[in-house]
Amino acid sequence: MSRNTKINALLLLVVAALAVLPLALGLGDHKEEPFTGADGEAETAITELHPDYEPWFSPLYEPPSGEIESGLFSLQAALGAGFLAYYFGLRRGRRQGAALAKETQAKVVGAKTAEAVEAKASADGGGTGSGATRSASVDEPGA
Amino acid sequence: MHIAEGYLPPVHAAAWGVASAPFIVHGVRALTREVRSNPESTLLLGASGAFTFVLSALKLPSVTGSCSHPTGTGLGAILFRPPIMAVLGTITLLFQALLLAHGGLTTLGANAFSMAIVGPWAGYGTYLLLRRTGAPLMVAVFFGAFVADLSTYCVTSVQLALAFPDPAGGVLGALAKFGGIFAVTQLPLAVSEGLLTVLVMRLLTQSSKGDLIRLGVLGGRTAERREEATA
């Protein structure tokens, strides 16, 4: 694992720990219903402060059950994560495509240019270097 | 966690709507301009919107024994400046209000004001301030996202305190109550959001260096130094 990957993995690990610790330490144990939503708690607080307050509008559509609701929340996360994955995959593919095109071009064009590009390619570790080295030498087409 | 449907008195709901509207209109203009002048940034814009989609769907447990979710608006604010996040944040809120009965249409103005306007501006301001004082990029990104997340819920608490003052303690008493529900719950989540934003920014510096330089996140010189360091 490269240093870069290790740092990224560490970041994810800390985020996971932050999410798991409140559960593992039982920080919700003092509540009747542990780990409910903060928005629901706010509704309760409003009713406590102003017992006569009546919500004057209700949602146009309400998911009929907790299952449907969690399904729709997963859909939201999946849409977002799907697009992010598409974005990073596309970028990686473009970078690799551009590197490949440069290599192929180097074989076709005259000896002088080929030499120059090959020198650059060999400095790049034959095009199999890490992502960071590669992006350092090959600029993306949109840039 | 946003203010639920119908839980702001009509006058407050309307006032926050009026307050948010100019920011959103201005944001739509900024977004159109960005897409027209830099068509290649459409993908990264989509990715910023996608990031808020994922993060605001993730309800995480917190130290207070309740759950809330991050906002994901810091990333887009740092990349594209806050006006554009006014639009992307409001789209996310609208999706949740219409399909998930989370937040609401009558409270959309208030929720947009906290999550899509104040959050991005506060986060961007923090990011810029740290950058100007010479802080490393990733430190500025972390605190930018952290502040964007936390300030959103501080505003939510203020909005509720103004609408529902404590009969004994007044607005301040109510602020302490709502702050305890929203802001304290949000603290560890804001740290998580900061770390996730740093992660995505790290991936972007590898995959989209050209875009980051054009958007001014990576200076030309910073990029060179980074290249030297990784080469």
At residue B60, what are phi and psi to the nearest 5 degrees? Answer: -115, 145
Angle between helices B10-37 and B42-55 (to 10 degrees): 150
Instruction: Decide if B60 and A49 are in contact by the 8 Å CB cutoff.
Output: no
Query: Nearest CB to A136: which of B96, B181, B227?
Result: B227
Residue range A16-32, pLDDT digits in tens: 999 999 999 888 888 88
- Compare CB distances from A83 to B47, B97, B106 and report the shortest one's residue: B47
Residue A143: predicted pLDDT: 42
The residue-averaged pLDDT of B13-34 equals 97
User: So where are chain B's domains?
Assistant: 10-223
Whether pLDDT at A92 is above 60: yes
Tell whether B172 is within 8 A of chain A (Cβ): no
How close are the terminal C-alpha atoms of chain A, in Å?
Answer: 29
pLDDT digits (tens, 9 = 90+) for B55-75: 999 999 999 999 999 999 999
Looking at the complex, report in whole angstroms how far the Cα of residue B63 sits from the nearest Cα belonging to chain A: 5
Asked whether the predicted pLDDT for residue A114 surpasses 80, the reply is no
Provide the angle, in degrees to the nearest 10, between the axes of the packed helices B10-37 and B82-99: 120
Cβ of residue A49 closer than 8 Å to a chain B Cβ:
yes
Give residue B107's pLDDT: 96
Which amino acid type is present at position A99? Answer: A
Interface of B with A in 55-84 (CB under 8 A): 55-68
Percent of chain B with pLDDT over 70: 95
B10-223: CATH architecture: Orthogonal Bundle (1.10)
Residues 61-120 on A with a CB inside 8 Å of B are: 61-63, 69, 72-74, 76-77, 79-84, 87-88, 90-92, 95
Cross-chain Cβ contact B3/A8 below 8 Å: no
- pLDDT greater than 60 at residue B224: no
- Exposure string (b/e) for A1-11, b if CB count within 10 Å is 16 or more? eeebeeebeeb
pLDDT computed for residue A131 by the predictor: 46
In Å, what is the CA distance from B9 to each residue of B154, B157, B228?
A: 19, 15, 58
> pLDDT tens for residues B93-116?
999 999 998 999 999 999 999 999
Q: What is the model's pLDDT at position B164?
A: 94
The length of chain B is 231
Ranges A118-122, B33-37, B194-198: which has the least confidence: A118-122
pLDDT at A84: 97
Whole-number pLDDT of residue B205: 94
pLDDT in the model for residue B125: 97
Query: What is the rounded average pLDDT for all residues in chain A?
Result: 83
Is residue A129 predicted with pLDDT exceeding 60? no
So what's the pLDDT on residue B69? 94
Q: What is the mean pLDDT of residues B124-145?
A: 97
Model pLDDT, residue B229: 52
What is the tens place of the pLDDT at every residue in B157-214? Answer: 999 999 999 999 999 999 999 999 999 999 999 999 999 999 999 999 999 999 999 9
Phi-psi region of B6 (alpha: psi -120 to 50; beta: other; left: phi over 0): left
Residue B137 has pLDDT above 80, yes or no: yes
B57 sits in the region (left: phi over 0; alpha: psi -120 to 50; else beta) called alpha
